[in-house]
Structure 1
Amino acid sequence: MNALSEHFEGRFLDELLGKITSAMCPQVSDHDCKTCAEFMETDEWKFFEPSFEDTDRTFRALLKSGRYECSRTGLRIECSSDVQLEYLTCDWEQVNYTPEMDQFTPCGPLMDLKVISGELKEVYLPHSLCLGKSLQRDAVKVLHVEDSGVYFEECSLTRFHAKLLDLSFSPKGLLLRKGYTVFYHCETLIYHTLKSHLTLHVYLIPSDKQMKEAVTKKEEQMRSKFILKPEPQCKLQMNGRFTLKALDQTKTSDCNSDITPKVITFR
């Protein structure tokens, strides 16, 4: 799980939480990212909650004609008639190694989609890339995993998704070609733990629903309390180094807190 944890110690929770700042940028929802605002989407998608079997990690959905987005994974589909689906998020580590894979790095989940009945008109996989600053579209490929090997397909990028041009299904995921300077949308998750002293766990992760769910599950098992905070307003560079600070009321100097580690790397 690509999550980064930090600890904040102090005397007054409410006071400290109002003063947490970062070297990243002001924070609002990632859907308000100013860097890629010109790519604002106009299509409307209806959210749906799939059924879920924890034993096989499989999502299931029965949908009528329409345009839908899965609230659990971010998967988008369009269908012109009733469809029945099964899908799950796979581990990238399960992909068979090929020399071509050395040229890429994942930029979204690897999803295995099966159409039980009906027919899909369009399918969009989620990604966490920021399209601002003229990201070259040919830098992103779709990895298609089959028994005979792995293949690389073209796609059409939208602000938060990539439209599949080939609707034959087996595990597919988005890859970014290495060597490009790109930026990502990210989320900052803050949890108040049950430790005797005031301790906060802070995670800096790409905007990925499954990754966020994994962090949430981990913290819920420790009975930590989620603290609602807005998300970064602009993109972050992968492998960039960032700091978190707790400031005094004047916002001019550090308050009495201990932050470990002092610097974190976004990856």
Structure 2
Amino acid sequence: MTQDSSDWTKLEPEVNSTDADEAPTYSLQSAAGHFECRVSGLRWVCKGKTSFQYQFRSWEGHMERMESRQYMPAGPLMDVTVTAGKLNEVHLPHWICIDDIPDILDMFAVVHIDDCGDVVEKVSEVTPTHVKLTEPNFSIIAALISLFFPLKISCYMLIYYKPNTSFLKLHVYPIRQDPALEQRIDKEESSDGYKRIKKPHPDKYMQTERAFNLRANMDTAEIQPKELTFRYNSLNFYEVFIENPERKLNLTLLHSNDDEPLCEPVWTCKLHKDDYPASGNVEEKHSVDEDLSAQMQKVLTVHSDREKLLGMLEDLTYEEFNNFKWFLQDSDAVVGLPRIPKSRLEKTSTCNLVDLMLQTYTEKSVEVTKKVLKKINRNDLVQKVSDSSS
């Protein structure tokens, strides 16, 4: 008799991940009963206290051997080790839609992989989500299905965004429901600077060897490729570019079939700005901030220079002030710089002269002033302004 999912007590495993290059180890322990791991979906039945641990393994390197036996992966590959007690039954998760598969028991199997090779074992029961083994032996283990195309399978949709870009850049992966593959993509995307956006996965099966379109509800969205064929063992993704995403973004995955324009989507997803912080308009905002900062700095510099110049000129005697203006008319202190007309210098006041110099010499006003002060033998003022600048 098939047990309902509510009959299984769900347990959260303890996760141990010490090496970035190693897959995490998940540890579980239980008393007697029926249990399910929340991470892997692995189910087990035991009559007493039991503990075990497992790691997800990649199917890479094993595919060809499975195909040579006329099988293909039907579920995640796990390395299971019982550390105490005994598991009387184990129910391995699978991602296959069994609705249209005849002779289910003959189609499914379980593979054991160890140093001695591969052992394929028939299963005692198949449910919509698991295959059952009684009195199981453990090693690297997974559900298999006989080569059968096309298949409908349960899938994950993984979404990643690139922070600190002026546009929103997404990578969207439709993959089989394989935690090891999910961990591998997470690692690769993270190493490229992308961050994960966690959203619900499809609640419908995806058919292998069928083409799909990903669509967005924004006219500025660019999505490549336009069409993606979902293959069992291929790893493909959609790349999405959106300039200035100013409203809620809806993504929809549809079958590519011109004869079914009103077909239901396989998956829909709503993204808000909070889902991709520090992305979209960031570079533009950063540029605006930099411009404002530069303008503020320029204002502060002009204000500071005005105070310095005024302080120096106010310390001059009447005769020194007139000599100062004379040197500004024709002197090597202003070589290569615009000249202030004599008519504007003759009767100008100290404050007006400061403004004239800032307008004419801009950021070089202080340097010009220091050169002229040396010519009228006011080196004490030159040192004074140099000290205030340090």
TM-score by length of 1: 0.72
Q: Aligned to 1:206, which of 150, 153, 176?
A: 176
Output the CA distance in 1 between the equivalents of 2:155 and 2:32.
32
Q: Mark the runs of 5 or more structure 1 residues left unpaired by the alignment.
A: 1-38, 249-254
Output the CA distance in 2 between the equivalents of 1:98 and 1:191.
33
For 1:183, give the aligned amino acid.
K
Deviations 1:91-122 (A, max 9, x none): 32344965863511112122221212111121
Alignment-derived partner of residue 124 in structure 1: 91
Q: CA deviation at 1:169?
A: 1.5
Alignment-derived partner of residue 265 in structure 1: 229
Q: How does 1:43-54 map to 2 (within 5 A)?
A: 43-54=7-18
Structure with a larger share of its residues in strand: 1
Structure 1 range deviating more: 116-125 or 133-142? 133-142
Alignment-derived partner of residue 202 in structure 2: 232
SS of the residue aligned with 1:256? coil
Q: Aligned to 1:241, which of 182, 192, 211?
A: 211
Q: Which has the higher contact order (CA 8 A, sep 6+)?
A: 1
For 1:74, give the aligned amino acid.
G
Q: How does 1:1-267 map to 2 (within 5 A)?
A: 41-55=5-19, 57=23, 58-95=25-62, 98=65, 101-134=68-101, 136-137=103-104, 138-155=106-123, 156-194=125-163, 195-222=165-192, 224-247=194-217, 255-266=219-230, 267=232
Q: CA deviation at 1:220?
A: 4.5
- Say if 1:54 and 1:129 are closer, same or farther in 2 by CA, change over 3 A: farther
- Say if 1:118 and 1:237 are closer, same or farther in 2 by CA, change over 3 A: same
Output the CA distance in 2 between the equivalents of 1:145 and 1:160.
22
Q: Is the Cα contact below 8 Å between 1:50 and 1:70 reproduced in 2?
A: no
Deviations 1:8-63 (A, max 9, x none): xxxxxxxxxxxxxxxxxxxxxxxxxxxxxxx9645233222223244353332332
- Say if 1:115 and 1:228 are closer, same or farther in 2 by CA, change over 3 A: closer
Q: Mark the runs of 5 or more structure 2 residues left unpaired by the alignment.
A: 233-390
- Say if 1:66 and 1:50 are closer, same or farther in 2 by CA, change over 3 A: farther
Q: CA deviation at 1:244?
A: 0.7
Q: Is the Cα contact below 8 Å between 1:109 and 1:173 reproduced in 2?
A: yes
Tell me which structure has the larger Cα radius of gyration. 2
Output the CA distance in 1 between the equivalents of 2:161 and 2:66.
43
For 1:200, give the aligned amino acid.
L
SS of the residue aligned with 2:68? helix
Aligned length: 224
Deviations 1:227-256 (A, max 9, x none): 4544333211123221111235xxxxxx22
Q: Is the Cα contact below 8 Å between 1:74 and 1:209 reproduced in 2?
A: no
- Say if 1:106 and 1:134 are closer, same or farther in 2 by CA, change over 3 A: closer
For 1:45, give the aligned amino acid.
T
TM-score by length of 2: 0.51
Structure with a larger share of its residues in helix: 2
- Say if 1:135 and 1:234 are closer, same or farther in 2 by CA, change over 3 A: farther
Structure 1 range deviating more: 224-233 or 177-186? 224-233
Output the CA distance in 2 between the equivalents of 1:167 and 1:229.
35
Output the CA distance in 2 between the equivalents of 1:214 and 1:199.
20
